[in-house]
Amino acid sequence: MPRTAILGTGYHVPDRVVTNDDLTGFMETSDEWIRERTGIEERRWVKEGDTGAAMALAASRMALEEAGIEAGEVDAIVLATLSPDHFFPGTGVFLQRELGVGTIPALDIRAQCSGFVYGLSVADAWIRVGQYRTILLVGVEIQSTGLNLTTEGRDMAVLFGDGAGAAVLQATEDEGRGVLSTHIYSEGEHAEILWGDAPASWRHPRISPEDFEELRIYPSMTGREVFKHAVTRMPQAVQAALEANDLTAEEIDLLIPHQANLRISQMVQKRLRLRDDQVFNNIQRYGNTTAATIPIALAEAVREGRVERGDLLCFTAFGSGFTWGSALVRW
């Protein structure tokens, strides 16, 4: 059975930088509060007219170039997002169109902050069974247009940013590299702890003036509950991955945790007893870009020389659903 190698990575973030101080123009908050609780210093927001598909395209082109692969060689697109450009169809088909490739499948994944790890799990299975040889895996998010930018929404609004990350995956016969395992989970009993209530297809109509008045159009969460579950589930998922591969945390060269909150990542690091040099964080500059955090961080880690052939990489994510998971990759 072939393995799945990551041959190229890429990312794109909007030019518009929004600092914590900029947010004080919209709501009662402070740079100090945001830094202390989340580690975030600034994030990127799209400008009017920017689309998720365009960001996905820019990230994908970078990843394809690094991989030395033409878009026409891609056999399938797997695209993770909780903020598709339209209710339907998914953003994957717009990326397929923009890439100008043939009638390859484009699968959107709805697993929120765990979308990249879920997508990697699906793509890895397709590659291992021989269904597809080259897969473009993308995480893209536009969060800024859906946030409540008033004091009432500040707990969520300060956390999120926009961006896209991509990875080109290809079958390899080289046993010394590739995805070693993926572990993915969900626990729907917590769905409403972190969610976007409206629009809702079961309501008539799907979106109403009451949804605006009662603020159901904005995402909401119980932050402390999310925090508590995140710092438990991510280390558990990493331990499951390590045990399945007969490896130890000490052997991880680089952990790329989903960038939800720097304090969450630090707690995950502590629970796994990892050194600072074993963990990559960039939330300071981008905030939480949901399905895009891991591929953006991976692309940056590669460009900063933090990843070398033979390194053991670990991804772990946690998000709305709840969904969570991990992946181990020999680079």
Is 258 a residue of the active site?
A: yes
232 binds ligand COA (CB under 6 A): no
- Choose the catalytic residue: 20, 258, 261, 282: 258
226 binds ligand COA (CB under 6 A): yes
- Element (DSSP H or E) covering residue 168: strand 163-172
Among 163, 319, 321, 325, binds ligand COA (CB under 6 A): 319
Buried b (16+ CB within 10 A) or exposed e, 137-172: bbbbbbbbebbbbeeebbebbbbbbbbbbbbbbbbb
38 binds ligand COA (CB under 6 A): yes
224 binds ligand COA (CB under 6 A): yes
Quote the crossing angle between the two packed helices 115-128 and 293-303, to the nearest 10°.
Answer: 80
223 binds ligand COA (CB under 6 A): yes
Task: Tell me phi and psi for residue 198, to 5 degrees.
Answer: -120, 150
Listing DSSP states for 81-109 in one string gives -SS-SSSSS-HHHHHHHHHT--S--EEEE
Size of the site for ligand COA (CB under 6 A): 20
Per-residue binder mask for ligand COA (CB under 6 A), 54-93, x = binder: ----------------------------------------
Is 314 a residue of the active site?
A: no
CA angle 200, 123, 184 (to 5 degrees): 65
Among 2, 31, 33, 199, binds ligand COA (CB under 6 A): 33
Is 204 a residue of the active site?
A: no
Distances in Å between the Cα of 59 and the Cα atoms of 69, 120, 304 are 14, 16, 17
C-alpha closest to that of 77 among 67, 65, 90, 86: 90
Nearer to ligand COA, 38 or 182 (CB): 38
227 binds ligand COA (CB under 6 A): yes
Q: Tokens representing 48?
A: 């009017």
283 binds ligand COA (CB under 6 A): no
256 binds ligand COA (CB under 6 A): no
Among 64, 113, 238, 329, binds ligand COA (CB under 6 A): 113
Buried b (16+ CB within 10 A) or exposed e, 202-216: eeeeeebeebeeeeb
- Element (DSSP H or E) covering residue 140: strand 134-141
Q: How far is the CB of 219 from ligand COA (least distance, A)?
A: 9
- Choose the catalytic residue: 20, 113, 183, 281: 113
Q: CB under 6 A: which stretch of 26-34, 66-74, 117-125, 268-276 binds ligand COA?
A: 26-34
Q: How far is the CB of 183 from ligand COA (least distance, A)?
A: 18
Q: Identify the three-state secondary structure at position 45.
A: coil
Among 13, 99, 234, 260, binds ligand COA (CB under 6 A): 260
Residues that bind ligand COA (CB under 6 A): 29, 33-34, 37-38, 113, 154-155, 158-159, 221, 223-224, 226-227, 260-261, 264, 288, 319
Return the active site residues.
113, 258, 288
